[in-house]
Each structure stands twice: as structure tokens, then as C-alpha cells.
Amino acid sequence: MNATSLSMTAQPSSKGRQVLGLIGWLLLCFAAAGVGGLASANAAGFYGELTRPDWAPPAWLFGPVWSALYTLMAISAWLVWRRGGWAAAPGALSLFVVQLAVNASWSWFFFVWHLGAASLAVQVVLLVLVLATLVAFWRRSALAGALLLPYVAWLGFAGALMTTVWRLNPAQLG
């Protein structure tokens, strides 16, 4: 087997390629999580100092929730990819990669640069991209689309939380 036969563009026909593809999508999603995680390294201190609404979940909950969501995202992308590789769904998979990059950028806007309005704008763009990805994935695999529903729900909740935190902390999140 050569390198191109294992690439994300190859048609995933064998079980070995299927497994490698799943591993690739998991690595991609958790790499995005890592980029966001770098920005969140000091998040506990900063977030702990902010005024939060009573309905805000404890800070420790965000890591496990995001880990589960990144896993579901990877499986969702893999389900689309395994039906013919990148060539069979370039638009849907490109949307997925773009939303993943936007996802990774949000933590930088909020936790590093403390930009509330920009964080909200990124959140809105992310939600639109994820909804577009969900629709594109659903057209190829209902399960792939359905696996993104918890992500959409969490983004809606996180967006409401972030907006409320921003409004409660105008000095810190200018």
C-alpha cells in the first residue's frame, strides 16, 4: 500500500482503510480541540472571575461535553467520507473542515483576546456553518446528520451562555 491509497481522498473500500479513515477524522477533530485547548489553558482563572448566570454549568463540565461532541463530529464526517471518499462529497466535507477551523478559533477570541462581540460573531458564523454541514451530511447519511444534532444543541446553549456572560461582564469582555 502506498501513501496515496490511505489518503483522505482515496475511496475507502477496505476495512483497513475504513479504520484508518475513522482514525484520521478523530485526529483531525481532536487536533482542532487541541488548538482551542491551547487558548483555554488559563480559562479556569479567567472564566472563574467572570459573573455568570445561575444556569451556567460548572466549568469542569465543558471538557467532557466537548470531548463527546468532537467524537460525534469525527464519526459523522467519517460516515460521509466512507461512502466514496472526499471526491464523493467535497462540498460537505469542506464545510465540515471549515466549521472545525472556526470552532477552534472561538476560544482564542473569548479566552485569550477577551473579545465578547467578536466571540459572539464567531459563534453565529459557527452555528450557521454547522447547520449547513448538518444538512449536507444528512443528504448523504441521515445518521451522519443526526450525529451533529447534539453539537447544534450545545452551540445554541453555549451561545446563549456566552452572550449572557458577555452582557454581565462588559469591562472584561469589551
Can you spell out the DSSP letters for 94-156? HHHHHHHHHHHHHHIIIIIS--HHHHHHHHHHHHHHHHHHHHHHHHH-HHHHHTTHHHHHHHH
> Mean per-residue pLDDT for 16-39?
96
Superfamily (CATH) of domain 14-50+57-168: TspO/MBR protein (1.20.1260.100)
pLDDT of res. 44: 84
- Yes or no: say if 106 and 126 are a contact pair by the CB < 8 Å rule: yes
What is the distance between the alpha carbons of residues 88 and 73, in angstroms, rounded to a whole number?
A: 19
- Yes or no: say if 79 and 141 are a contact pair by the CB < 8 Å rule: yes
Task: Look at residue 66 and tell me whether its pLDDT is greater than 90.
Answer: yes
pLDDT mean across residues, the chain: 93
pLDDT digits (tens, 9 = 90+) for 82-105: 999 999 999 999 999 999 999 999
pTM check: above 0.85: yes
Q: Give me the residue spans of the domains in the chain.
A: 14-50+57-168
User: Percent of the chain at pLDDT above 90?
Assistant: 87
